[in-house]
Amino acid sequence: MIKRTLYFGNPAYLHTANEQLVVEFPYPAGTEDVVKPRPHTAPIEDIGVLLLDHPQITISQALLTKLLANNTAVITCDSTHHPTGMLLNLDGHTLQSRIFAAQTDASEPLKKQLWQQTIAAKIHNQAALLGAVSAEGSLWGEPDKLLLNMARDVKSGDSGNVEAQAASYYWKRLLVRWQPGFSRDRYGMPPNNMLNYGYALLRAVVARCLTGSGLLPTLGIHHRNQYNAYCLADDIMEPYRPFADKVVCDIVAAHDGPLPVMLTKEIKAQLLAIPAMDVRIARSPAAKDTERSPLMVAVEKTTASLAKCYEGSGRKLLYPVME
């Protein structure tokens, strides 16, 4: 079952009763005598991501405990309404210590092979999306041939840094139809803000699934920043980035006038749908056919396959394939 992503952008009191998340909204001064409606509720077991985007949200410790026990990723936003912090379960798998040990002991050749698969999958998905948005008047173009060739050229550990070459080519072309001269820059003009928001949400989903598979998000395959607590999440989310890019392309293509510097409620709603969007992923590492799956479920398959690779019972990472 697909887990829900809940977003709160107004003052609220969040607590728990009967294994439910209970939401109460404050009433304006002078309306104390108005009959209040029953609080909103949601089953905690159905929640995968909880996003808190207002300084006047109060959340109870009892609710936090239950959310983390359910392996829910709890995300907080800063004053610019962008995700800035995350709480995750530290005990999300029954065999966690064994998987931690296998992850810690992973050899460099294994890590290089895993990174090769990761970057090849990312560039393949970039090729599919770039070909789609480059097709005149439709989203049904053929995959970009140059990027497909780059994906085939990725070597162990991406020793030739094909990822950077592909990124340079990709970003110069992806949004040019709607935003001439666009440059991908985390602190740049819109729609960079939309991309940042979508990636932050993806990162939370991946980190949640990593802990659910018994993996430590801090120990990356390729990323090794000592100040980054989610290096492995940053690694594994790479082939999923083009799916967030597609949502941003759809938003930009449908938008009239200048893009907003501050994300609107409507834009956030579209970005928050990323975990539930349909993707295609192989049924198993040995399967040649694919099946449709919500993105969050696909990430769970990816992280489970990664755990098997670390433990020596698998050699292939399951990543989604963009159509």
Is the CB of residue 216 less than 8 Å from the CB of residue 100?
yes
Q: Which CATH class is domain 4-87?
A: alpha beta
> In angstroms, how far is the first alpha carbon of the chain from the final one?
23
Question: In whole angstroms, how large is the CA radius of gyration of the chain?
Answer: 21
State the pLDDT at residue 323.
82
Tokens at 150, concatenated: 């780059």
Is the CB of residue 112 less than 8 Å from the CB of residue 118?
no
Residues of the chain with CATH 1.20.120.920: 96-311
Residues of the chain with CATH 3.100.10.20: 4-87
Give the count of beta carbons closer than 10 Å to the beta carbon of residue 70. Answer: 18
Rounded CA separation 137/130 (Å): 14
Q: Judging by DSSP bridges, how do beta strands 57-59 and 278-282 pair with one another?
A: unpaired
What is the CATH code for 96-311? 1.20.120.920
Rounded CA separation 215/291 (Å): 25
Rounded CA separation 102/88 (Å): 21
| Residue type (1 letter), 49 | V
Model pLDDT for residues 40-76, shown as the tens digit of each residue: 999 999 999 999 999 999 999 999 999 999 999 999 9
Distances (CA, A) of 304 to 6, 79, 113, 119, 301: 24, 35, 17, 18, 5
The values of phi and psi at residue 191, to 5°, are -95, 25
pTM: 0.89
Give the pLDDT of the chain (323 residues) as one tens digit per residue.
Answer: 678 999 999 999 999 999 999 999 887 655 556 666 678 999 999 999 999 999 999 999 999 999 999 999 999 998 888 888 888 887 765 667 888 899 999 999 999 999 999 999 999 999 999 998 876 544 456 899 999 999 999 999 999 999 999 999 999 999 988 999 899 999 999 999 999 999 999 999 999 999 989 898 889 999 877 667 789 999 999 999 999 999 999 999 999 889 999 999 999 999 999 999 999 998 877 777 889 999 999 999 999 999 999 999 999 999 999 98
Whose tokens are 């949640």? That residue is 208
